[in-house]
Structure 1
């Protein structure tokens, strides 16, 4: 299923490419950097244990309200029309209850340019996106999250808590290059690499393709992937290069049809 919100760095365009490399024999599936949960939602169930985690309280609160209070959240969203004035008002006052905060956060993300949540987004060619469709997806997401554990911890604590040989971690941290949300700007890429080098389980890590990333993870298995840019497309610059990194051999476990143009090649030992 689709996520109920967009998110900078979300894996809507790459999840069909990443999914075939996720091992079939895992017991648990954990996302330390959950975001909009595009990867989690790609399958009905990844393992007996599924964990969504994010350090962003706004995201976690939204998922908690979807899981435990979907009807109340839908009622709160139902009156939030696409309005620049309303957008500005909500920016100033996020809401009093957890349900109100979740609804207003979802409104700001879905009605803003590029899902940044800071400016009202409009288009000269098409109308606003349908909130009705998103309300229907809240009901679907409520059912999907039934057995999912929702955490609000640092990625270090989540890895420590759930690290076993049979568990799998899909990591989608803030990228080194490009736009990132304000609360991710102090992220240490070196510390993440150090943490992943010592885990018992298996992981796949998504990153932007640049020399610093390749240097940090030169001892791991790496595949290069090209995807279409989601926002800020410019003529002649519509592709974005990323890498998929793992601590196991990246062998596709199944063949899936993908609409995404991809280029992959094995790389090991690049400095």
Structure 2
């Protein structure tokens, strides 16, 4: 671990886990080698842990560009955000929304700018893969909580990739730690598909994720994964040596069905060497 300093995630992300680290940090293994997060999003767990070695990935190339830009030149990203802040208006928002910058700094600042000024911080694209969320009510482009210098320092030792989750999970070795927070697809929900950035995260992807995590567990990898509290998800994991519990933003973890509600989430965990069965 690095010397700890408080970092607020710089992106607002649907399904973010800020609440999870506040309530359930005790579930995170105390010791591990490399930290691996294949569905990075806002990175709440990563920023909480501040690991000294990490592999970070996501299927969203714009999201990954934001992290890479900060890592490579956070001062240039801030300078670009200052420009966005001065120019910000309805017209400018839609101009930036329709733009397609190539260099990583401009891509990073565009992503952060749109995330902070669009409706509810939602990331959504159309069938052509173009960001199409309208302008929201917030106008702040730079925030008092921003510590891009500390984020850049933390990212120095991170391998950041735009990649499929299975590729990243399959790189995990004994005593590495995977935190996986996928889109919450279930077998019978919307015919087994959930929109994940510009891709569809299908039920087959859920099955592929479970198979990859089972392989990682068998290699002695520590695993913590969150998912929908649904019987179809439980069926993927319950016979493979994982601990399965439920939690929500509004209650503590419970293994008792009477305490579960529709908004519950499932926690799937395995700590190598702890005697789980």
TM-score bracket, normalised by the shorter chain, equals 0.7 to 0.9
Q: Distance in 1 between matches of 2:153 and 2:10?
A: 13
Contact 2:69–2:77, Cα closer than 8 Å, also in 1:
yes
Contact 1:174–1:184, Cα closer than 8 Å, also in 2:
no
SS at match of 1:133: coil
- Runs of 4+ in structure 1 off by over 3 angstroms are 177-182
TM-score, length-scaled by structure 2: 0.76
Contact 2:115–2:121, Cα closer than 8 Å, also in 1:
yes
Are the structure 2 counterparts of residues 180 and 110 from structure 1 closer, same or farther at C-alpha, using a change threshold of 3 Å?
farther
Deviation of the 1:182 alpha carbon: 3.4
* Residue matched to 1:233: none
Greater shift in the superposed pair: 59-68 or 129-138:
129-138
* Residue matched to 1:255: none
Alignment of 1:30-69 (within 5 A): 30-45=36-51, 48-69=52-73
Are the structure 2 counterparts of residues 210 and 68 from structure 1 closer, same or farther at C-alpha, using a change threshold of 3 Å?
same
Is 1:171 matched with 2:177? Answer: no
* Residue matched to 1:226: 248
**Number of equivalences:** 234
SS at match of 1:14: helix
SS at match of 2:93: helix
Q: Among residues 191, 194, 198, which one is paired with 1:183 in the alignment?
A: 198
TM-score, length-scaled by structure 1: 0.78
- More helix by percentage: 2
Mind listing any 5+ residue stretches in structure 1 that lack a counterpart? Answer: 123-127, 229-237, 252-267
What is the RMSD computed on CA atoms of the aligned residues?
2.5
Q: Which has the higher contact order (CA 8 A, sep 6+)?
A: 1
* Residue matched to 2:101: 95
Contact 2:117–2:141, Cα closer than 8 Å, also in 1:
no
Are the structure 2 counterparts of residues 157 and 134 from structure 1 closer, same or farther at C-alpha, using a change threshold of 3 Å?
farther
* Residue matched to 1:205: 225
SS at match of 2:147: helix
Deviation of the 1:17 alpha carbon: 2.8
Q: Distance in 1 between matches of 2:153 and 2:195?
A: 30
Deviation of the 1:244 alpha carbon: 0.8
Task: Give CA-to-partner distance per residue, 1:24-71, whole Å, 9 cap, x none.
Answer: 1211211111111111000333xx522211121111111111011111
Q: Among residues 107, 111, 116, which one is paired with 1:105 in the alignment?
A: 111
Task: Give CA-to-partner distance per residue, 1:147-181, whole Å, 9 cap, x none.
Answer: 222122211111222x2221110101111169744
Q: Distance in 2 between matches of 1:134 and 1:37?
A: 19
Contact 1:225–1:241, Cα closer than 8 Å, also in 2:
yes
Deviation of the 1:191 alpha carbon: 0.9
* Residue matched to 2:167: 157
Deviation of the 1:197 alpha carbon: 1.2
Is 1:247 matched with 2:270? Answer: yes
Contact 1:62–1:103, Cα closer than 8 Å, also in 2:
yes
